[in-house]
Structure 1
């Protein structure tokens, strides 16, 4: 994997994790459910495939996880500031 692909993958997974987490938070009105789902999917996929991800794969998955956590934090902050739709 080239350095450009790695950089784009990091940004893509972070934005994708944030977007999906934000939508799940808005629809289901939960704060940390997307984080639990993300961890479950990652661990389940690793157990099912019985593989150990490399360093690059781990960094990319961690960035997706960070995006999901940031979406939960954002929803929580918006709720505290009085936005009822969240």
Structure 2
């Protein structure tokens, strides 16, 4: 399915806002500024790959070779959307750090 030029920026914005919001809330509740930036690659792998998560531990060779195949076959639009989600998670960490530095205490 082809992605139109209108869908790509909207999808990128939605992923950025979604992972910024989730990262901001997790950073606020768990008091760990980079928790979402650390968790995001696992979430991205679960989005990209169709292999069950447990197979990365039970059938390691097949799972990682399949992941490499899936990563190499991603379209540029998919890479842009996933990277905007990572950017949202990183910006959430930076925002929490700045707010704490300026004296705001969240929970």
TM-score by length of 2: 0.73
| Offset, 1:42 | 1.4
Aligned to 2:20: 18
Cα deviations by residue, 1:25-44 (Å, 9 ceiling, x for unpaired) = 01111100110100122135
Range with greater deviation from structure 2 (46-55 or 12-21): 46-55
Aligned to 2:36: 34
CA distance in 2, matches of 1:56, 1:34: 22
TM-score by length of 1: 0.89
Aligned to 1:56: 77
Aligned to 1:65: 86
Change (3 A) 1:38 1:78: same
User: Higher helix share goes to which structure?
Assistant: 1
Q: What is the count of residue pairs matched by the alignment?
A: 86
Range with greater deviation from structure 2 (71-80 or 48-57): 48-57
Structure exhibiting the larger radius of gyration computed from Cα positions = 2
CA distance in 1, matches of 2:77, 2:47: 17
